[in-house]
């Protein structure tokens, strides 16, 4: 799944974390999905990769919105840049945006030559400018307003403009009507007056066309705005100084502000603490994006958690002009998650207590059998009681292991085998000094359904070796091997004692112990094999069950 960008970052630039996005079409689907891939990498001192962790997140919904917004923005930009009329925006008297048609009308070769300049350079006289600003201040909107300007070379230029004032910002369109004005000054001559009239009709038609273009532009902006306003997520944009320049309806409702109040605060005021604000800013500065949880604060001081996806905004020249983010209030999800965690913790405590009580009850039964044995004189009955105690203890050890564990779905069977085998040798106390126990046990975990029958199997096989393998206190060794291979568990219990008589068929016998062994093997779906050459060796193989849920 590692693409060229990730591969270069991992092996050449040695980055610890990389993010990328890609799309793919699931099998049987007609639509593409977008995934965000985050790769976390660990390196050793030599710079070699020791571990990589890949996290995939479905960002299809956000990607579709992003692509749709980019498409609408491109349409708006095309209408703006390709407009034959001059389109401009000024703020505090300075030109902050205009198209190339605007620049050409005033004799400039490119819009770049005008952006950032004081609009005063375009007026023919200060008086004409003052009159224009006065009319604009009084009416807030001027339609087909005629005014004299000057070109870059200082020559006279008459324009017809439609302009609107919004606070400190002025937006409008204009066309050149220099020739028409000159013709109007010669209206005493009939021919020139007629030409002026025809020219005026043509101009009106062009103005109507410009108006249609402007109307389409406005409608497109409304459509884009409606998408933003209809979003249930919070959408916010700010400039490089941290001033909020865009905030949708959901954002206003969730934070409790109105538009006028937002003009008076900075974006930092929306964060509950400075640490989150500076973390987001640092990520945006270093990576251009931020994705993660933050703490926000409403107008009334209430704090809530949101999941924020933020990115840096650039203009067409690649200049950083601000940032924007889409976030969602996940407070209820967090509360639900915490409640679920608390509920799970309570169930774990209850389950642990159940295993503890089962273990105690089994120990009580074992103690009762132990007391009962003190009243029994016959050796055969004492052996039966001892074997019953050992079987109960083997099950008790399972529940004790679960009680001490944090994972009730798995038991550390390796530790259990060690404890069980040592307890068995000790329970037959006479063997402590002349029977050696060898354990070759790998780290293996089993679930409860397999641990109990497997533990009873070990109990029976080790007990048989202790009872029958070393008569007359013959010294010897009992070996237990346990390992996992290809999802199958291999368990071997062997001794170097006298071995099993050849007359006994271990699969068909009247002894309770071996009957129990065969029943338990069948229960776990395994196979058992006996080697009776140098002592006795039982080999048990069964498939390890995998837990789907923990």
Q: What are 509-527's pLDDT values in tens digits?
A: 667 777 878 888 888 888 9
Give the pLDDT score at 195.
Answer: 65
Give the pLDDT score at 108.
Answer: 92
Strand partners, 528: 540
For the question of whether the overall pTM of this predicted structure is more than 0.75, the answer is no
- Comparing 289-293, 381-385, 499-503, the range with the smallest average pLDDT is 381-385
Q: Which residue has the higher pLDDT, 99 or 460?
A: 99
> CATH topology of 76-229 equal to that of 231-329?
yes
Give the pLDDT score at 192.
Answer: 59
Rounded mean pLDDT, 92-100: 88
Length of the chain: 550
Locate 277 and state its tokens: 């604000």
Rounded mean pLDDT, 134-163: 88
- Which listed CATH number (3.30.420.40, 3.40.50.450, 3.30.750.210, 3.30.450.20) goes with 231-329? 3.30.450.20
CATH level 3 topology of 76-229: Beta-Lactamase (3.30.450)
- Comparing 66-70, 85-89, 260-264, the range with the smallest average pLDDT is 66-70
Strand partners, 313: 322
Q: Which long-range contacts (CB under 8 A, 24 or more apart) does 231-235 make?
A: 231/65, 231/326, 232/328, 233/326, 233/327, 233/328, 234/306, 234/325, 234/326, 234/327, 234/328, 234/329, 235/324, 235/325, 235/326
> What percentage of the chain has pLDDT greater than the value 90?
3
Secondary-structure class of domain 4-58 per CATH: mainly beta
pLDDT tens-digit map of 309-337: 889 988 888 888 888 888 888 878 877 77
Secondary-structure class of domain 335-543 per CATH: alpha beta
The full set of domain ranges for the chain reads 4-58, 76-229, 231-329, 335-543
């Amino acid at each position: 799944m590692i693409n060229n960008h990730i591969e270069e970052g991992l092996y050449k630039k040695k980055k610890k974390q990389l993010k990328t996005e890609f799309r793919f079409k699931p099998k049987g689907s007609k639509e593409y999905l977008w995934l965000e891939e985050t790769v976390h990498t660990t390196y050793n001192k030599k710079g070699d990769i020791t571990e990589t962790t890949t996290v995939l997140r479905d960002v299809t919904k956000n990607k579709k919105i992003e692509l749709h917004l980019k498409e609408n923005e491109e349409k708006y930009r095309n209408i703006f840049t390709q407009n034959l009329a001059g389109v401009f925006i000024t703020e505090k008297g300075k030109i902050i945006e205009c198209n190339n048609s605007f620049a050409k009308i005033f004799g400039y070769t490119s819009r770049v030559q005008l952006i950032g300049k004081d609009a005063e350079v375009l007026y023919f006289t200060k008086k004409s400018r003052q009159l224009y600003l006065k009319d604009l201040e009084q009416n807030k909107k001027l339609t087909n307003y005629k005014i004299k300007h000057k070109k870059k070379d200082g020559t006279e230029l008459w324009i017809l403009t439609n302009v609107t004032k919004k606070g400190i910002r002025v937006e409008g369109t204009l066309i050149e009507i220099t020739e028409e004005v000159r013709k109007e000054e010669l209206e005493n001559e009939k021919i020139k007056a007629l030409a002026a009239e025809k020219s005026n009709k043509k101009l009106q038609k062009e103005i109507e066309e410009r108006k249609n273009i402007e109307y389409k532009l406005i409608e497109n902006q409304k459509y884009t705005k409606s998408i933003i306003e209809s979003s249930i997520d919070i959408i916010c944009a700010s400039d490089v100084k941290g001033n909020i320049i865009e905030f949708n309806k959901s954002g206003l409702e969730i934070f409790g502000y109105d538009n006028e109040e937002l003009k008076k605060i900075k974006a930092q005021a929306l964060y509950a603490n400075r640490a989150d604000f500076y973390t987001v800013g640092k990520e945006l500065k270093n990576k251009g994006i931020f994705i993660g949880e933050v703490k926000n604060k409403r107008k009334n001081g209430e704090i809530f958690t949101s999941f924020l996806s933020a990115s840096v905004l650039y203009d067409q020249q690649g200049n950083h002009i601000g940032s924007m983010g889409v976030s969602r209030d996940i407070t209820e999800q967090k509360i639900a998650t915490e409640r679920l965690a608390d509920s799970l913790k309570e169930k774990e405590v209850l389950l642990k207590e159940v295993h503890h009580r089962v273990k105690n009850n089994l120990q009580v039964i074992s103690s009762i059998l132990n007391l009962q044995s003190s009243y029994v004189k016959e050796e055969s009955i004492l052996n039966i009681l001892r074997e019953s105690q050992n079987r109960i203890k083997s099950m008790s050890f399972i529940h004790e292991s679960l009680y001490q564990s944090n994972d009730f779905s798995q038991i550390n069977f390796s530790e259990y085998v060690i404890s069980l085998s040592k307890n068995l040798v000790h329970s037959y106390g006479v063997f402590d000094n002349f029977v050696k126990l060898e354990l070759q046990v790998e780290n293996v975990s089993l679930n409860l359904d397999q641990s109990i029958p497997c533990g009873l199997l070990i109990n029976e096989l080790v007990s048989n070796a202790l009872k029958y393998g070393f008569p007359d206190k013959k010294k010897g060794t009992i070996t237990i091997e346990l390992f996992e291979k290809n999802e199958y568990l291999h368990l071997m219990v062997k001794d170097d004692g006298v071995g099993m008589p050849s007359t006994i068929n271990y699969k068909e016998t009247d002894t309770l112990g071996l009957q129990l062994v065969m029943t338990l093997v069948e229960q776990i779906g395994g196979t058992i094999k006996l080697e009776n050459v140098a002592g006795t060796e039982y080999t048990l193989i069964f498939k390890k069950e995998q837990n789907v849920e923990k």
